[in-house]
């Protein structure tokens, strides 16, 4: 069991809470149903002794580390990065909305990785951190399926990790895109990893104890 890691991708208020970026861009119907599954997954990972990493996407207050094209696209989506929202300035590090939702807050000793990229491995020490802690198998959950989750999944697969895509703890705005993301994981014998549910990965962890 000590070779398993869990990546909790961007369970932030800006993506998962009322008044955040996602809510302003179209609502939260796509993400609220998976939060109890994510809680179950995280609790089970803690019980099993998995190495846990929580990621947050966010940018400097002056947006100096955010590509201008990304700001422009966020404006078109309805939630311009850096603009004032009910939870503070959208997607800005240190704002209330940038932090994790209450039910998925990290515990002391769990790693928090702040990133200004979609993928969690790009421009970070994540690969080294996982390997130094003996991680070979990696369960991945989070938002959004087609952006930060799939980017991170592909980065992890390219680095040789055996990935588990926890389908009922991952979502995105469009249900068709969510299904397409799941289908891509299974292509060519599971080119990006294995498609699992929370209960399936929990059962695997229990059996490995």
DSSP 8-state code for residue 206 = H
Indicate which residues carry an active-site annotation. Answer: 10, 115, 148
- Residues of the chain above pLDDT 90, percent: 96
Tell me: the pLDDT tens digits for 53-92? 999 999 999 999 999 999 999 999 999 999 999 999 999 9
**Helix ranges restricted to H, 144-174:** 150-158
* pLDDT of 46 higher than 80: yes
Only one residue has tokens 């955040």, namely 20
The pLDDT assigned to 58 comes to: 98
In DSSP terms, 113 is beta-bridged to 55
Tell me: the pLDDT tens digits for 89-120? 999 999 999 999 999 999 999 999 999 999 99
Residue 9 — pLDDT band, cuts 50, 70, 90? very high
The pLDDT assigned to 208 comes to: 81
Helices (H) and strands (E) in the chain, counts: 8, 8
Average pLDDT score over residue span 26-49: 98
Relative to beta strand 84-85, strand 88-89 is antiparallel
Q: What are the tokens at 6? A: 């869990």
Sign of CA dihedral 205, 136, 105, 197: negative
How many other C-beta atoms are found inside a 10 Å radius of the C-beta of residue 146?
19
* pLDDT of 47 higher than 80: yes
Rg (CA), the chain: 16
Residue 1 — pLDDT band, cuts 50, 70, 90? low
Sheet strands (E) in 34-144:
51-57, 84-85, 88-89, 111-115, 137-143
In DSSP terms, 52 is beta-bridged to 6
The DSSP string of 78-94 is: T--TTSEETTEETTBTT
* pLDDT of 2 higher than 90: no
Do the Cβ atoms of 141 and 197 come closer than 8 Å?
A: no
Classify each residue of 75-101 as buried b or exposed e, where b means 16 or more C-beta atoms within 10 Å of its C-beta: eeeebbbbeebebbbbbbbebbbbbbb
**Mean pLDDT for the chain?**
97
**Ordered structural domains, the chain, with CATH:** 4-208 (3.40.50.850)
Tell me: the pLDDT tens digits for 128-178? 999 999 999 999 999 999 999 999 999 999 999 999 999 999 999 999 999
Do the Cβ atoms of 191 and 51 come closer than 8 Å?
A: no
* pLDDT of 209 higher than 80: no
């Amino acid at each position: 069991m000590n070779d398993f890691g869990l990546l909790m991708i961007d369970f932030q208020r800006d993506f998962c809470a009322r008044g955040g970026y996602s809510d302003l861009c179209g609502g939260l119907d796509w993400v609220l149903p998976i939060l109890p599954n994510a809680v179950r997954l995280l609790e089970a990972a803690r019980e099993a002794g998995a190495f846990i990493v929580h990621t947050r996407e966010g940018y400097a207050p002056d947006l100096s580390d955010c590509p201008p094209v990304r700001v422009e696209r966020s404006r078109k989506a309805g939630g311009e990065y850096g603009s004032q929202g009910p939870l503070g300035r959208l997607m800005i590090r240190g704002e209330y909305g940038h932090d994790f939702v209450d039910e998925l807050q990290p515990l002391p000793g769990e790693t928090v990785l702040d990133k200004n990229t979609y993928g969690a491995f790009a421009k970070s020490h994540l690969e080294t951190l996982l390997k130094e802690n003996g991680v070979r198998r990696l369960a991945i959950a989070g938002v959004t399926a087609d952006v930060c989750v799939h980017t991170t999944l592909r980065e992890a697969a390219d680095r040789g990790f055996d990935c588990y895509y926890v389908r009922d703890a991952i979502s995105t705005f469009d249900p068709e895109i969510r299904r397409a993301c799941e289908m891509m994981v299974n292509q060519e014998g599971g080119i990006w990893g294995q498609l699992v549910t929370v209960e399936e990965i929990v059962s695997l962890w229990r059996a490995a104890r």
